[in-house]
Amino acid sequence: MIFRYSAIFLLGLLTVTSLASTSVTVEELTNAIGAPKCMQKCMNSFIVNLYDALTNSSINHATKVMCKEYDKFVECTTKDRYVCPYEVVYNFAFEGISSFCSEKETPNSACLDEKLSVVAKTCDGRCHVLDQIDDMFQRRTMKIMAKHSGNPQIFIENLTEFCQSLSCFIPCFKRNLERGCGKDGHHFLVHAVKPFYSLVREMKKKPAMKPMLEKRVPKTCHFLFNKVVLDYYTTY
């Protein structure tokens, strides 16, 4: 369950950082993964507001808006925690944003403001992540799940090509963002992969979890819970 909500975070993040539009709406995405309606109440509006903040503002301003919207999201989920008890999922999926917003000072983002979307578009041009999102939601089963309510396992089974593109995108994004923005670029990446480090820690505490994930999750996605690979992404 944790993996699929981390996948939501990355799908949203890559769409935002590429400043590109896919044919997939937030509601379709959260429907497809089988997110309960009570969860969508808080999560959908947060993702939409996050997208608006990062595409309509400079990154420096957007980080303030992002953290303000995250506070609203936390307040919303706290109010509903007894009827919609998914705090563990939220903590995993949005850990990167939470850790970023909990810092006393956001990093100097002038370079990110200039380079982030350019780097993302360049790497997506090579790796076709956004095309894979669109292609995935053109499949008949995914269309039905996006319209109504999905099955988490079926959603995961459809991530093969997406993860293959993602395994191309992230190293490209790392190289180019660090080359262009140095430590600011690295800092951004560290926060982006935090949900997957949490997954690795959870697997270490629960050894039976790893073989289950390896069996149910497409092999092309396994790098997302491989600590050696994650360490490479976060080494400057």
Query: Going residue by residue through the chain (236 aa), what tens digit of pLDDT does each one get?
Result: 665 566 666 666 655 555 555 678 888 888 888 888 888 888 888 888 877 766 665 666 767 777 888 899 999 999 988 888 888 788 878 888 888 888 756 555 678 777 877 888 889 899 998 899 889 999 999 999 999 888 888 888 899 999 999 999 999 999 998 999 898 888 888 888 888 888 888 888 888 888 988 888 999 999 998 999 999 988 88
Instruction: Report how many domains make up the chain.
Output: 1
Domain contains 1: no
pLDDT at 4: 58
Model pLDDT, residue 8: 62
The pLDDT value recorded for residue 71 is: 92
Look at residue 2 and tell me if it is in a domain. no
Contact 53, 171 (CB under 8 A): no
- Does the predicted TM-score (pTM) go above 0.85? no
Q: Which domain holds residue 186?
A: 7-233
pLDDT, residue 99, reads 84
HEC sequence for the chain:
CHHHHHHHHHHHHHHHHCCCCCCCCHHHHHHHCCCCHHHHHHHHHHHHHHHHHHHHCCHHHHHHHHHHHHHHHHHHHHHCCCCCCCHHHHHHHCHHHHHHHHCCCCCCCHHHHHHHHHHHHHHHHHHCHHHHHHHHCCCHHHHHHHHCCCCHHHHHHCCHHHHHHHHHHHHHHHHHHHHHHCHHHHHHHHHHCHHHHHHHHHHHHCCCHHHHHHHHCCHHHHHHHCHHHHHHHCCC
- Is position 132 within any domain? yes
